Amino acid sequence: MLLVLALNGWGLAYAQTASVLEAEASKFRRTGSYAEVEQLCQTLAKNHPNSARCFHIGHSAEGRPIWAMAVSRSGALTAAQAKHLGIPVVLAIGGTHAGEIDGKDAGLMLVRDWLKSPPVNDPLKHQVFLFVPVFNVDGHERPSPYNRPNQNGPSLQGERVTAQRINLNRDWMLGQSPEMNAMLQLVTQWDPLLTLDLHVTDGVRFRHDVSLSMSPMFSADEPLTEMSEHLLSELMQRLSVKGHRPLDFTPVLLDFENPRSGIMRDADAPRFSHVYAVLRNRIGVLVEDHAWSPYAQRVQTSMDVLIAALELMAKDGRQLLMVALNADAHAEKMQTETVALDWQNMLEAGIDIPTGEVDLLGYEYTTHLEAPIVGGRHITYHLNQPAVWHTPVYGGIQPVNDAIVTLPQGGYLIPAGWASVVVPYLQKHQVTYQTLPHAIQGAEVQALQVNPESISFDARTFQGRLRTNISGEWVAKRANLLQGSIYVPIRQARALLAAHLLEPMSPDSLSRWGLFNTAYEVTDHISNHRQLQIAQWMYREDRRIRERYGDSLHQKLPALRKEYQTRMDRDDRFREDPEQRIDFWISQIPYHDPTFNQYPVLRLGHSPLP
Ligand SMILES: [Zn+2]
């Protein structure tokens, strides 16, 4: 260990010793650079060719390889072998937020030690452990002592966001970063049964050392939901036995200056890894080590989470895999299933009733009404006085009403003109689709007529995008589908993902992320003088209305004029508002922009293909 520290080119030293990490050598005051990950990954693979493989899954925005390890004694070291042999795959991701780096050191140490001396009942005999030590590589290589002001070590921490300032744990659905595209490919290839995303909390001080969050409610498959919940409680139990104080959700304080006033549980969205996994009929766990635990302790916690998960998967993995594959089969048989695409805490729905109470292990604290020096309402924790916060819990998560959707019996249809916008996302997420080889006239479809009043854009960007809110009503109509239109059948393993991308009310639909915004933009208008002219022609029953807009409108004109007169006589507000008066006439003529406010995805009752 001393030799390593004494050497200048320490990267070379690792290649030879392949063992002691910078974190260990520094007694967990520091964490190593990315070169250390690369060295250890390659050395371990070289020294244990039958049970470890080191490869990169793609490159970061700044061109760094994103290294991954496949570790197993099951005989499977590739995705194809794992699939062929039916071996469960567990994916652990470190450094999604590069400053929250516990998972990197924990995973590297665990892999190194288990490769060197397999534990009793070696869990690696029953699964492939797929490990990405650092997901946000560029962020990792921009260390600073100031990146994680709410965290107790290591001395230098990486950045939360990528070089393009993307938060990777909000990018699972949109996949706008090269890093996420690499990860989505990895997930597509390996199809991990369990994904553990290894993070660190962001601020609140309490004595629980780790929280595990899952969102199984997003699933449409009951057995999978049950198994996920069971897995979570077993994980909790194993961690408790080892002396940890885990929480089975990430607590959010209702009042940051007074923790006893209550805690709530957030409802997450598919843009997070642990929800995304559920939409693939798999299991995702968001692991948050407690930021204020010392780094050495946090790495141990992270390692214990990994060990518990790998042991559980060794025990139950095959059975879980069966349940997950059954969920795929269930999705392939979906008829008219009703699913909730968005969830919220009941508090957000205005239901201010706690679902229970919890004893949170915290500290005594003072809520200042006028804090020393700075004034204002603030909190000081008294860390030498452990206390139990007996607090109400607002844990109820319920579906967002507008986002309860009955899936279409056939599937979705993307008109040819929008295919180039949508298809890349279908491919990224492994959603199956077919391209119409020929046009279809008069197909029965459901089209969403967007309510113009409902269209709003967020005031600020999120992940660089201006998010969009719309709502509307699906109406039956006939449409001519061009050759090259895209049919997305609902009966497929990735049905939930398809619905989340294509239903407008999903929190991470393509529409929400602003990809359909041109559909909701006014692009042309009728000049005022032209409107006046048309209104006058209509009022006078001018033959030019028949020439331009046809007989049926022309024949309606006497009745319209009568109606207009009645409103002028009886409706003061109408009479006094020139805008309403001209609209009365102009709204009767065929609209000049027929695709305006037409949602660019159709729903189908059955397949358009034979
Ligand atoms: Zn994080």
For 301, the 3-state DSSP assignment is helix
Structure tokens at 151: 């965290």
Q: Which of 5-14, 251-260, 262-271, 444-453 has the lowest mean pLDDT?
A: 5-14
Does residue 608 contact residue 436 with C-beta atoms inside 8 Å?
A: yes
CA 259 to ligand 1 center in whole angstroms? 21
CA 219 to ligand 1 center in whole angstroms? 23
The vertex-152 CA angle with 205 and 276, nearest 5°, equals 75
CA 473 to ligand 1 center in whole angstroms? 38
CA 286 to ligand 1 center in whole angstroms? 9
CA 40 to ligand 1 center in whole angstroms? 24
Q: Spell out a b/e string for 22-40, using b for 16 or more CB atoms within 10 Å of the CB, else e.
A: bbbbbebebbbbbebbbbb
pLDDT of amino acid 17: 52
Q: Which of 16-25, 95-104, 193-202, 401-410 has the lowest mean pLDDT?
A: 16-25
- pLDDT above 70 (res 4): no
Strands (E) across 299-348 are located at 338-340, 343-345
For 448, the 3-state DSSP assignment is strand
pLDDT of amino acid 473: 93
> How confident is the model over 523-537, as a mean pLDDT?
92
Site of tokens 């997003």:
218
- pLDDT above 60 (res 6): no
Burial class for 98, CB neighbours closer than 10 Å (0-12, 13-18, 19+):
buried
- Cis? peptide before 154, omega within 30° of 0: yes
pLDDT of amino acid 595: 85
- pLDDT above 50 (res 540): yes
Structure tokens at 159: 């950045």
CA 481 to ligand 1 center in whole angstroms? 44
pLDDT, tens digit (0-9, with 9 covering 90-100), for 561-581: 999 999 999 999 999 999 999
- pLDDT above 90 (res 482): yes
- pLDDT above 70 (res 592): yes
**94 falls in which pLDDT band (50, 70, 90)?**
very high
**204 falls in which pLDDT band (50, 70, 90)?**
confident
pLDDT, tens digit (0-9, with 9 covering 90-100), for 36-72: 999 999 999 999 999 999 999 999 999 999 999 999 9
- pLDDT above 80 (res 465): yes
The CA-atom distances, in angstroms, between 291 and each of 101, 133, 136 are 11, 19, 19
CA 288 to ligand 1 center in whole angstroms? 7
pLDDT of amino acid 1: 37
CA 99 to ligand 1 center in whole angstroms? 8
CA 202 to ligand 1 center in whole angstroms? 8
CA 361 to ligand 1 center in whole angstroms? 22
CA 270 to ligand 1 center in whole angstroms? 16
CA 96 to ligand 1 center in whole angstroms? 7
CA 285 to ligand 1 center in whole angstroms? 13
CA 204 to ligand 1 center in whole angstroms? 14
pLDDT of amino acid 10: 38
CA 97 to ligand 1 center in whole angstroms? 5
pLDDT, tens digit (0-9, with 9 covering 90-100), for 288-313: 999 999 999 999 999 999 999 999 99
CA 462 to ligand 1 center in whole angstroms? 17
pLDDT of amino acid 9: 37
CA 174 to ligand 1 center in whole angstroms? 18
**5 falls in which pLDDT band (50, 70, 90)?**
very low
CA 175 to ligand 1 center in whole angstroms? 17
CA 184 to ligand 1 center in whole angstroms? 19
**334 falls in which pLDDT band (50, 70, 90)?**
confident
CA 73 to ligand 1 center in whole angstroms? 31
| Of the candidates 501, 443, 458, 472, the residue with the CA atom closest to the CA atom of residue 599 | 472
> How confident is the model over 335-342, as a mean pLDDT?
89
